[in-house]
């Protein structure tokens, strides 16, 4: 089962300045930086009847199993710059940066998470010598909790969902405790905008790799939504130019389709009840205010898919030798559902999809719940 909403008001170019390559310059100074691979899924393209499918594999990024550290690290850096005036030109390695930050202590980082964002904040805290306190929703799998604790962070699992965890984290901020959140609300937008900027490194890497390999620009980019920070980054990047830009498809769980709800309401709204999709990183009830204007203008089609499509996508990628989670596979899951379900016909026609269509997917994370992964792929 799948729900579709076509955004007939989507524009081909979003006005305003898209992020430059400043975040990439910063990321290249961090430990374990390398350009993650762009993988050609030729067999899956043939199986599902499109011209090409390329996958940006973010299962290993800066020593962590997900892309989230790109946004978290840049947002932390920009926060320190904004509050204390530290500049990129004043350090060439982490030892020099730590020496500067040591003079500013005691400082703490705080965030809410379903897993990867919180671990990324905790990892940056460990790298910079800062304490971190991470709030997580009820029902979070033990493996994700332990992963964050392994970074030296304090973890608090609250009674409630992701939105409630965000509220708990927000209450912790003060003059010495900085909230680093990838979602936003009125009065808290700037840090989330920095998170969105941080994801641009991944998108510039895709362009560089495509140029080197002679890969044409995609016709479609399929992106996971969640709170919307990644979707906003992708949309702003690919719709920054004049001309024939790629169409953007946003994917979210059927029971956590906060972007689709916002589009129908014409404003950000909060879903009621508990969001309990197995796509844990997309299990969000409220879209980020900072992401909403970009998503509203630029995403051409919204897909709300059942969990079973995500399971199928995990298995398809595993058969290709690629291991990922339900959230990581959600882009492929959305593409599979749209190409397979009768409900997808209107969207396929609207997007002019055919056997020559080139699609770009982002694998957002590796396996973050080994037990759940083994159950899906029947190991």
CATH number of 68-187: 3.40.50.1100
Q: What is the pLDDT of residue 379?
A: 61
Give, in order, the Cα–Cα distances in Å from 307 to each of 28, 161, 184, 191, 313: 36, 18, 26, 31, 10
Give, in order, the Cα–Cα distances in Å from 52 to each of 46, 237, 300: 8, 21, 20
Mean pLDDT by 10 residues, the chain (379 residues): 95 85 94 96 97 98 97 95 82 82 88 94 94 95 94 96 94 94 95 97 98 97 97 96 93 97 98 90 94 97 98 98 97 97 93 96 95 90
The half-sphere exposure of 361 on its side-chain side, counting CA atoms within 13 A, is 26
Q: What is the pLDDT of residue 291?
A: 97
Q: Is 124 exposed, middle or buried (0-12, 13-18, 19+ CB in 10 A)?
A: buried
Q: Measured over all CA atoms, what is the biggest interatomic distance in the chain, rounded to whole angstroms?
A: 61
- Cα Rg of the chain, angstroms: 19
The structural domains of the chain, with segments of one domain joined by +, span 2-67+196-377, 68-187
**What b-and-e string marks burial along 149-175, b requiring 16 or more CB atoms within 10 Å of the CB?**
eebebebeebebbbbbbbebbbebbee
pTM of the shown model = 0.95
Q: What is the pLDDT of residue 378?
A: 87
Cis peptide leading into residue 106 (ω within 30°): yes
Do the domains 2-67+196-377 and 68-187 sit in the same CATH topology, yes or no? yes
Contact at 8 Å (CB) between 4 and 347? yes
Contact at 8 Å (CB) between 237 and 294? no
Could you please state the CATH topology (level 3) that the domain comprising 2-67+196-377 is classified under.
Rossmann fold (3.40.50)
Q: What is the pLDDT of residue 266?
A: 98
Q: Provide the β-strand partners of residue 131.
A: 108
Give, in order, the Cα–Cα distances in Å from 97 to each of 89, 128, 129, 146: 11, 8, 10, 28
Contact at 8 Å (CB) between 221 and 248? yes
Q: Provide the β-strand partners of residue 40.
A: 54
| Helix, strand, or coil (residue 337) | helix
> What angle do the packed helices 116-128 and 142-149 form, to 10 degrees?
10
């Amino acid at each position: 089962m799948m729900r579709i909403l076509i955004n007939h008001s989507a524009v081909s170019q979003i006005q305003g300045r898209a992020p430059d390559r400043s975040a990439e310059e910063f990321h290249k100074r961090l430990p374990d930086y390398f350009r993650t691979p762009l993988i050609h899924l030729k067999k899956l393209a043939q199986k599902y009847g499109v011209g090409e499918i390329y996958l940006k594999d973010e299962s290993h990024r800066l020593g962590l199993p997900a892309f989230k550290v790109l946004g978290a690290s840049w947002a932390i850096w920009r926060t320190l710059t904004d509050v204390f005036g530290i500049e990129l030109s004043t350090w060439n390695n982490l030892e020099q940066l730590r020496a500067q930050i040591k003079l500013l202590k005691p400082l703490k980082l705080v965030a809410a998470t379903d897993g990867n964002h919180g671990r990324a904040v905790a990892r940056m805290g460990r790298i910079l010598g800062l304490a971190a306190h991470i709030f997580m929703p009820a029902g979070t799998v033990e493996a994700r909790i332990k992963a964050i604790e392994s970074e030296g962070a304090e973890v608090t699992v609250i009674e409630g969902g992701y939105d409630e965890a965000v509220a708990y984290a927000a209450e912790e901020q003060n003059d010495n405790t900085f909230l680093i959140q990838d979602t936003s609300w009125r009065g808290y937008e700037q840090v989330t905008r920095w998170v969105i900027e941080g994801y641009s490194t991944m998108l510039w890497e895709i362009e560089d790799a495509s140029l080197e390999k002679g890969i044409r620009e995609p016709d479609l980019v399929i992106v996971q939504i969640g709170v919307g920070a990644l979707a906003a980054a992708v949309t702003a990047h690919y719709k920054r130019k004049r001309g024939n830009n790629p169409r953007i498809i946003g994917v979210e769980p059927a029971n956590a389709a906060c972007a689709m709800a916002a589009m129908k309401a014409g404003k950000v709204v909060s879903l009621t009840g508990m969001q309990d999709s197995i796509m844990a990183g997309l299990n969000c009830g409220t879209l980020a205010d900072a992401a909403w204007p970009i998503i509203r203008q630029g995403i051409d089609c919204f897909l709300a898919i059942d969990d079973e499509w995500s399971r199928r996508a995990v298995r398809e990628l595993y058969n290709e030798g690629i291991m990922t989670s339900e959230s990581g596979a959600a882009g492929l899951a959305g593409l599979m559902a749209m190409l397979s379900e009768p409900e997808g016909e209107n969207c396929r026609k609207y997007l002019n999809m055919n056997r020559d269509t080139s699609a770009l997917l982002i694998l957002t994370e590796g396996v973050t719940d080994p037990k759940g992964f083994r159950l899906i792929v029947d190991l």
